[in-house]
Amino acid sequence: MKVKEIQNIVELLKLAKISRLEDKKEEIKELEATQFKLPVNMEDILPIISVDGSYCFLFSFLGAETWIILFRIGVTEYSIAINNGAVHYIMNSKPKVYDHLNLISFNKNVLSSQPKAFSIAANINKSFSERNPQYFASNIMTYLEDLTLEKISKTRKDCILLKDGALLSFKSLEREPIYKSILQNCRDNDILLAGVSKSTSNHLLDDFYTDDYFLKRYYNKKYADLTYIPVPKKILEAQTRFDIWGEAHFVKLHKKAVKWFRIDILPHDRDKKDQLFSSIAAYSMVHLMPGYPIGLIECHKIAKSVRDLKNAYELELIESLKKLGLEPKDILEGAVDMNGRELYSFHEILDQQSR
């Protein structure tokens, strides 16, 4: 390794400011932050309904750019009860599970017989140099999540509705009609809607560090308890790829929170902001995962369990595929891993030969 090359890397790291800011005595910019408290009467908090989804690839017909996928949407509902001064999370009803066995394909005949959302997702994917079935599947999963949110917002009243992920959608996905319906339903039925995003590895705070790293490093100690920080509107308004349906915040939901989460709320709920964040924090006191709502924890488990069904569905599908006249060899060649990739790619074969 050349000394000159190492020195060049060091200089580049200085430009990226990968160093201890404290040593340089640089000023950390002050963010607008508001601290809040848990509700006084915990049993008066609205019930909380949470929605999350996942999917699993079952078979691939690679030559036909067609995949069979199992989608799973999980829904949980919790309320709070106090017993001997301790908080207890009560599951109001059995978790609901919505499984959707479906097919994604770039074949025009297939797309013409499916909802418009499939054609839109396929057309977006065609713009990539290599068509990505995971991206295709992910867009269909969010479509199914949105339909579930629309149904809940139409049939329920007086509750908090939590969506896994931010309250935004790619403009190119044309989800405006669904979101407008969800928002109107929430207004009509007195529902407080919030989107909770697990990922905060972006730069909405306009710093060279990711939002997650910046907040944990410089704000965890400064704000030791419940706190929210609004994302500057100018940053959100500057983007052109998304339809923004909510106002974004970074929120610390527990004094021992594993991280700050991005939480979006509806603009017409801004006057209820403290109440909403306070209520979500009340549902985020699980010892194993402090600072993340119990409903979304359980929804995530339910949604991810779709992968446990892979083998059972594969056996049933093999019998059905045989009836199409496919040979066993053709069916086995369609076997894929959880992410839709071939079980034995050329890279894997090459790596084995190189050992």
Please indicate, yes or no, if residue 53 is contained in any of the structural domains. Answer: yes
Contact 276, 193 (CB under 8 A): no
Q: For 114-165, write each residue's pLDDT tens digit.
A: 999 999 999 998 877 678 889 999 999 999 999 999 999 999 999 999 999 9
Give me the number of domains the chain comprises: 1
* DSSP-derived secondary structure for 76-130: EEEEEEEETTEEEEEE-SPPEEEEEEEEEE--HHHHHTS-HHHHHHHHHHHTSSS
DSSP for 306-343, written as a single string: GGGGHHHHHHHHHHHHHHTT--HHHHHHTBB-TTS-BS
Is residue 220 one of the residues assigned to a domain? yes
119 is a domain residue: yes
Alpha-carbon distance of 297 to 141, in angstroms, equals 18
pLDDT tens string 8-43: 887 777 777 665 544 444 445 677 899 999 999 998
pLDDT value for 24: 43
CB 284, CB 150: distance < 8 Å: no
Q: What is the pTM (predicted TM-score) of this model?
A: 0.86
Residues 6 or more apart whose Cβ sits within 8 Å of residue 20: none
d(CA 181, CA 183): 6
Distance CA 132, CA 163 (A): 25
Read off the CATH number of the domain in which 116 is found.
3.30.420
Residue at 61 is within a domain:
yes
- From residue 6, alpha-carbon distances to 17, 19, 86, 258, 299 in Å are 16, 16, 57, 36, 47
C-alpha to C-alpha distance for 241 and 169, rounded to whole angstroms:
8
Q: What radius of gyration, in Å, describes the C-alpha atoms of the chain?
A: 23
Range of the domain at 70: 44-310
- pLDDT given for residue 19 in this prediction: 59
pLDDT of 1 reads 58
Residue 180 lies in a domain: yes
90, β-bridge pairs = 79
With contact defined as beta carbons under 8 Å apart, do 133 and 62 qualify? no
**Helix residue ranges, H only, the chain:** 3-15, 21-24, 108-112, 116-126, 133-155, 176-188, 211-218, 233-238, 273-282, 294-304, 310-323, 328-333, 346-353
Measured CA to CA, the distance from residue 219 to residue 240 in angstroms comes to: 29
Contacts of 152 (CB under 8 A, 6+ apart): 49, 51, 75, 161
Residue 321 lies in a domain: no
> Does residue 316 belong to any structural domain of this protein?
no
In a domain, residue 156? The reply is yes
Residues of the chain with pLDDT under 50: 21-27, 346-347, 350
Q: What whole-number percentage of the chain has pLDDT above 70? A: 87
